[in-house]
Amino acid sequence: MKLSQLFTKTSKTVPADETARNAQLLIQAGFVYKVMAGVYAYTPLGLKVLENIKRIVREEMDAIGGQELIMTNLQPREVWESTTRWSDDVVDVWFKTELKDGTPLGLAWSHEEAIMEMMRQFIGSYKDMPVSVYQFQTKLRNELRAKSGIMRGREFVMKDMYSLHASAEDLDAYYQQVIEAYKKVYDRLGIGKDTFVTFASGGAFTKFSHEFQTVCDAGEDILYLHRGKNVAVNEEVLDEAIKELGVGKDELEKVKSAEVGNIFNFGTEKAEQMHMTFAGADGKEHPIYLASYGIGITRVMGVIVEKMADDKGIVWPENVAPAYIYLARIGDDAAVREQTDALYDALTSQGCLVLYDDRDLRAGEKFADADLMGIPYRAVISPKTGGKVELKARTGDSTTLMTAEELLQHCKQQDLADVLA
């Protein structure tokens, strides 16, 4: 990607109407465009980050047998009425609309009922389960407050997975597998160390549900944490949970956190409300077991920005960065131009993602943009580098001079971190 061709521009001014640091930085760096509070568009750079997060989540969901699909945002009333969740008193975030003939429709804020209704057509016997499906989809929620930037959107991207089972034991076993898969996801996203499986208010079927909470000052939740014992409890169930867990309240550290994922065991509740049964091995009809598992894709992006940014701008972990290298050409020297163009082509053709700053700007401006955009490595060719490339890590202070050949080799091995260490 060449910056001279990218339509977005960075901005030095902090957007006046935005208090959340994640949105300020993402807007200034040209990753998101604000339409209104809680409503953001994602530019090519922002979309690349989202796609990288989705790729990691997709790999881990596929690894536990998830089948990817995509549902629709237009939801018929009857399906949700059968579980009482059409009512605005029960679900207070619905956006609703209607067809020209007056037929009411809801814009999906979640998909449990929709998935169950679809599965009615495919599940008849215990042999048809377990089944696990997931999607990446835009969810619409009429949130009362939207002051946390992309961490709380009125429109946002969620990965939601649903698993259907013939027995509680089978569901429980899969539920544990999802917990392990989620841990891998947050590790790969670079927030694993600060993300905790948290006891939260339950569960149609169980006393507690489980949230994945990331310690984060910009988060809206309060967490009570025991890092040593790896115990985390959401404030809302604190009194109940500490009794159960046998820990004292004074042993726990109180921190602010953001819910980056949530898993929920519905048991047979949905199936009973929706009259959905399967024929068991015993020949009798039984209700289907359901669990749902969410990850806030856009929220995770905001949390990463909040947690890792420094005073110069965003810091993306390598796994989610829109590019691996920010290549800056300094000056307009013909030889420099030729060398930098050639290095860009060579890096790109070996599959290395490069953001090429080929604009006619001063070095200081290019370096400031490289920092603001948070690209993990900056490679510079200037009349002063004597035909070589000067490499620097986004979070490091030291630079290393190497030949273009050496840089290509290191990129192939993805060991730039070691080189600069």
Asked whether position 111 contacts ligand ATP by CB under 6 A, the answer is no
Asked whether position 262 contacts ligand ATP by CB under 6 A, the answer is yes
Among 48, 85, 188, 299, binds ligand ATP (CB under 6 A): 299
- How near is the Cβ of 230 to ligand ATP at its closest, in Å? 20
Residues 221-250 that bind ligand ATP (CB under 6 A): none
- How near is the Cβ of 281 to ligand ATP at its closest, in Å? 33
Q: Which is nearer to ligand ATP, 208 or 344 (CB)?
A: 208
- How near is the Cβ of 155 to ligand ATP at its closest, in Å? 8
Burial (CB < 10 A; 0-12, 13-18, 19+), residue 180, is exposed
Choose the binding region for ligand ATP from 111-119, 169-177, 248-256, 257-265 (rule: CB under 6 A).
257-265
- How near is the Cβ of 391 to ligand ATP at its closest, in Å? 36
Question: Residue 337: helix, strand or coil by DSSP?
Answer: helix
Q: Which two tokens stand for residue 62?
A: 């596929």
Dihedral sign for Cα 57, 61, 62, 68, please: negative
Q: Which two tokens stand for residue 392?
A: 């620097």
- How near is the Cβ of 187 to ligand ATP at its closest, in Å? 17
Contact indicator for 223, 213 with CB cutoff of 8 Å: yes
Asked whether position 259 contacts ligand ATP by CB under 6 A, the answer is yes
Choose the binding region for ligand ATP from 236-244, 258-266, 324-332, 392-400 (rule: CB under 6 A).
258-266
Among 153, 287, 374, 376, binds ligand ATP (CB under 6 A): 153
Asked whether position 260 contacts ligand ATP by CB under 6 A, the answer is yes
| Element of type H or E holding 240 | helix 238-245
Exposure string of 71-94, with b = 16+ CB inside 10 Å and e = fewer, is bebebbeebbebbebbeeeebeeb
Asked whether position 152 contacts ligand ATP by CB under 6 A, the answer is yes
**Number of residues engaging ligand ATP in binding (CB under 6 A):** 15
Q: How far apart are CA 144 and CA 139, in angstroms?
A: 15
Asked whether position 298 contacts ligand ATP by CB under 6 A, the answer is yes
Q: Which two tokens stand for residue 45?
A: 């750079």
List the beta strands (DSSP E) in 150-302.
155-165, 195-201, 208-215, 221-226, 231-234, 253-267, 277-279, 285-287, 289-296
Q: What is the amino acid identity at position 84?
A: T
Asked whether position 270 contacts ligand ATP by CB under 6 A, the answer is no
Q: Which two tokens stand for residue 232?
A: 């985390």
Question: Residue 47: helix, strand or coil by DSSP?
Answer: helix
Q: What is the amino acid identity at position 12?
A: K
Choose the binding region for ligand ATP from 59-67, 164-172, 233-241, 290-298 (rule: CB under 6 A).
290-298
Site for ligand ATP, rule CB under 6 A: 110, 141, 143, 152-153, 156, 158, 259-262, 294, 296, 298-299
